[in-house]
Amino acid sequence: MADEQTQTPPSGDQPADSASAQEGASLEGGDEQTTTFGQPAGSGNANTPPPKKPGGIKGFLSRFSMYLLLFVLVLVIAIIVVVVAAVKSNSKPENKIGDQTLTQSDLGQLAQSDVTVGDVKQTLSVQSNAVFAGQVLVRKDLQVAGKLEVGGSLSLTGITVSGDSVFDQIQVNKNISVGGDAAIQGQLTIQKSLAVNGGGTFNGPISAPQLTVGSLQMSGDLALTHHIAAGGVNPGRSNGNALGGGGTASVSGSDTAGSITINTGGSPASGCMVTVNFATKFNATPHVVVTPVEAAAAGLQYYVTRNTSGFSVCTANAPPAGATFGFDYIVFD
């Protein structure tokens, strides 16, 4: 009778494990008034069904929203990764050059054939001294951070020097053009002619076996330790009336200096014996200095008339007939 009172028949809507739990509780207590899930027997909540999960369209939408959120999150992460990779690939590394050591086999391969080492983005660094037994060709610019020493001859199609340069010896076989000032500390030797279009200033002495100038202007004294040779075209001459019948005259020298020879004829008279005609006219009336040669010429009362075209040697008294007289002259502008 006790077993029949304590067992509660399971409801159609109550789960089987709930009925088993009630049955176990009745067997242990032997009490008529038993509880199911902590509730008194006979309560209406003992047959309440468990809550149902949402289904249909609402459940589908709930699951779709979760998947969409995960897809968007993954897409954002992928975009960030792609952007970071693109920025790193475009950025140029600064002072980060990978080192690569050349083995003895690599060096032997370089010596036996034309081998390209690396590319334009790589740098070949030689830590020790390098000796090239053959020719070295640089297809692009050559930059030397230190001093450049050339033991032999240097052949260049063109050279541009922006700073100061020091040359122990330099030889130019063709033309040399200096756009700015040139300072020569030592001796300058020119094998051929020197043409200067502008002015020249020399603080020291000038030594030359021959110096030809179109015009020479000196602001100081002129010191000559050797002879003065006055060269130039021989001037012309014309005989004067004072020579007498059959008298002759000759001139040798130049416009600057020369000698005059006078041979009187019969019955010479006073007046001009000879006129020297300059090969080149002077800009103004020059200074003419005439000196008699020997006593015969000194005995004449001679004088000079002059202009820009020439000068005349005259005498105030009648010279003797059939006599020879000599005069030297110097002309200054």
Task: Quote the CA–CA distance of 271 and 249 in Å, as a whole number.
Answer: 14
Residue 184 lies in a domain: no
The pLDDT tens digits of the residues spanning 199-249 come to 777 777 777 777 777 777 888 888 888 888 888 899 999 999 999 999 999
Residue 150 lies in a domain: no
Domain that holds residue 6: 2-42
Q: Which residues pair with 302 in a beta bridge?
A: 315
pLDDT of residue 289: 97
The pLDDT tens digits of the residues spanning 299-324 come to 999 999 999 999 999 999 999 999 99
Question: Is 80 a residue whose pLDDT tops 60?
Answer: yes
pLDDT band of residue 105 (cuts 50, 70, 90) is confident
Pairing assessment for the beta strands 271-277 and 310-315 based on DSSP bridges: antiparallel
Instruction: Match 């030592």 to its residue by tokens.
Output: 186
Residue 102 lies in a domain: no
What values do phi and psi take at 13, rounded to 5?
Answer: -95, -5
Question: Is 118 a residue whose pLDDT tops 70?
Answer: no
| Of the candidate ranges 12-16, 69-73, 166-170, 208-212, the one whose mean pLDDT is the lowest | 12-16
Number of domains in the chain: 2
Contact 230, 289 (CB under 8 A): no
Positive or negative, the CA dihedral 185, 189, 195, 199 is: positive
Residue 132 lies in a domain: no
Question: Is 103 a residue whose pLDDT tops 50?
Answer: yes
Question: Is 31 a residue whose pLDDT tops 90?
Answer: no
Question: Is 179 a residue whose pLDDT tops 60?
Answer: yes
User: Chain-wide mean pLDDT for the chain?
Assistant: 77
Contact 237, 274 (CB under 8 A): yes
Residue 103 lies in a domain: no
Task: Quote the CA–CA distance of 333 and 89 in Å, as a whole number.
Answer: 86
Which amino acid is located at 51 in the chain?
P
Task: Quote the CA–CA distance of 112 and 124 in Å, as a whole number.
Answer: 19
Instruction: Match 């509660």 to its residue by tokens.
Output: 8
Encoded tokens for 148 = 């450049």
pLDDT band of residue 14 (cuts 50, 70, 90) is very low
Residue 84 lies in a domain: no
Residue 206 lies in a domain: no
pTM: 0.43
Residue 156 lies in a domain: no
Compare 27 and 224 and report the one with higher pLDDT: 224
Q: Work out the number of other CB atoms within 10 angstroms of the CB of residue 237.
A: 17
